[in-house]
Amino acid sequence: MAAAGVGFAAVLMFTQNGFRNALLDSPVRLIEVVDCELVAISPARYMLPVDERFPRSLLRRVKADPAVTDVQALLIERTMARVRVEGSPSRPIRVISVPDASLYSPGSSDTSRPWLNMAGLNESRDALRQRDTALVDRKTRSEYGFQFDDSGNPADQRIELSNQSIELVGSFTLGTDFANEGSLLIAESSFANYFPRRGYGKPLETVDLGLIRLQDGASPEEAAERLTAMAAGQWQVLTRQQIRDREQTFWSEQTPVGMIFLIGTLMGFAVGIIICYQILFTNLQDAMSEYATLKAMGYPNRFFIGLVVRQSVYLSVLGFIPAVLIALLLFRMLESLTGLPMALTVARAGSVLILTTLMCLISGLLALRKLVRADPASLF
């Protein structure tokens, strides 16, 4: 029963921590699937879902830099992109471009080193070359109405994107985040057809993310600083790690939901201390006469402290093991329902184990106060 109480508190912390990690992991998944060393963005793009762009001409200019081997533009449309599946209402969706070089140049370097490493994309490249075709994210929310067979391929449905017919020819895996509930992939050339008003009538000349590859041995940090200075104020060039850290810091520290999940984890910790305190205090009360006898025999306080500390550690481990198993099942269910990445890594599990152990230790030491301070005769 004592381990069950500790396990309940640990599951609370796992859940809140899992939601917070999903908040931090999901916005950067697009950065994790691009294959390049540097990413260029508009300086006004304070987070990735914001529609702030820079001119494509800047990407052409950086090709002259000796450290740069290749560049590619990634176009993302959210504001004007609405999809309607037959039988379902129209909903906003994120549309991401697949570079045409990857689709139409079989002999280019892009086929051996794709710009986008998404599960399912390579298998559908040939189909995506056809006009008015798209791939749909398998983890898109069910409210959109997309249907998939047992293999994860989209069913034959009538689909409209921005009031124009489009055919789903395959699927890929990316996932949702707190700003995007679904995604489509289309060829870059199709952006002009579906979003002609994008970029003030020049839909392909405004870029959301600029992907830059460097020579082997080139320093990404030095190259990023140099390329940013080339067009200061018009764009900002960052390493993938820098843009990942920047995005996660924004969601963690500058959004209300980030603080809510952090407070939720702390509340789980506080609830756990109360639960553990009640459990350990009851155990001490039940054995108080035995403890009094030992204290009367001359056992020092450090003996009782060590005893309670060991009991607290055992309790934390016994409660933590089932909590991990429950958290794994819960995370798998939540990821299936929401499309958010609910990853439980060794480091994250270790942090909850540390919190659980600390929670039990604090509770044990609080419960021990009466025994340490009392006179042995008063305990009988």
> CA 17, CA 264: separation in Å to the nearest integer?
8
Phi then psi for residue 208, to 5 deg, are -85, -50
- What percentage of residues in the chain have a pLDDT greater than 90? 54
Tokens matching residue 200: 């003030």
What is the residue-wise DSSP string for 308-372? HHHHHHHHHHHHHHHHHHHHHHHHHHHHHHH-------HHHHHHHHHHHHHHHHHHHHHHTHHHH
Q: What is the pLDDT of residues 8-20, one digit of tens each?
A: 889 989 998 999 9
| DSSP 8-state assignment for residue 375 | -
Q: What is the pLDDT of residues 266-292, one digit of tens each?
A: 888 888 888 888 888 887 777 777 777
Q: Is the pLDDT of residue 379 over 80?
A: no
Q: What is the pLDDT of residues 170-213, one digit of tens each?
A: 999 999 998 999 999 999 988 889 999 888 888 899 999 999 99
Q: What is the pLDDT of residues 285-317, one digit of tens each?
A: 777 777 778 777 877 878 888 888 888 888 889
The span from the first CA to the last CA of the chain, in angstroms, equals 27
Which residues face 209 on adjacent strands?
74
Phi then psi for residue 77, to 5 deg, are -125, 125
Say how many C-beta atoms besides its own lie within 10 A of residue 40's C-beta.
28
Which residues face 165 on adjacent strands?
160
Q: What is the pLDDT of residues 13-52, one digit of tens each?
A: 999 899 999 999 999 999 999 999 999 999 999 999 999 9
pTM equals: 0.83
> What local confidence, expressed as pLDDT, does residue 103 receive?
64
Q: Tell me if residue 283 falls in helix, strand or coil.
A: helix
> What local confidence, expressed as pLDDT, does residue 200 receive?
83
